[in-house]
Amino acid sequence: MAINRRLATIIIVVAVLAFAGVLLPMAWLSSLQWTSHATDPFRITNVQFDVGYLNITVENLDIQEKIVSQVTVRDLKPEGYGFSVDWTSTPHVVAVHEPIPVGEEISFRISFKWSSGRAYQIELEPEDKGWGTSFNVVAP
């Protein structure tokens, strides 16, 4: 009987140590804040709709000048309580060359025939092909 108790005690101790070895790192990792990537180089702060145009305001959040090389506008469709990209529609892609100085905000305009009440995703791509940014908006 003593061997069975000793074996049972060893099994319990090993199980507790294994559990703690898995649980403690998981608890530590879950306490960290995760982002999808380090920091967006810029962000869209405003989109205004003008007849045949979109006026896009962008802020540079990076430590160096950034250049917006492309704007892509995609249709969004309602899904649940939000929107998702309508991959069946053709995106509107515009090549641009808009430099944004460090810590500053600029506005630029692209040609786009929008429809009132439609939802759009505006995506900006940097010239250096790093992380871009996107912004969802509904036309007035």
Tally the domains of the chain: 2
Regarding whether 25 and 65 lie in a shared domain, the answer is no
Mean pLDDT (whole number) for 1-26? 74
Question: Which residue range is the domain that position 77 belongs to?
Answer: 42-138
Q: What is the pLDDT of residues 88-123, one digit of tens each?
A: 999 999 999 999 999 999 999 999 999 999 999 999
Regarding whether 54 and 11 lie in a shared domain, the answer is no
* Res 73 pLDDT > 90: yes
User: What is the pLDDT of the chain when averaged over all its residues?
Assistant: 84
Position with higher pLDDT, 74 vs 132: 74
CATH number, residue 104: 2.60.40.10
pTM of model > 0.75: no
* Res 4 pLDDT > 90: no
Regarding whether 124 and 72 lie in a shared domain, the answer is yes
Question: Can you tell me the distance from the alpha carbon of 21 to that of 18, in angstroms, rounded to the nearest whole number?
Answer: 5
Which amino acid is it at 49? F
Regarding whether 78 and 105 lie in a shared domain, the answer is yes
Regarding whether 109 and 59 lie in a shared domain, the answer is yes
Structural tokens at position 74: 């995609």
Regarding whether 128 and 65 lie in a shared domain, the answer is yes
Question: Can you tell me the distance from the alpha carbon of 60 to that of 73, in angstroms, rounded to the nearest whole number?
Answer: 20
Question: Can you tell me the distance from the alpha carbon of 138 to that of 121, in angstroms, rounded to the nearest whole number?
Answer: 9
* Res 31 pLDDT > 70: no
* Res 86 pLDDT > 50: yes
Mean pLDDT (whole number) for 50-55? 94
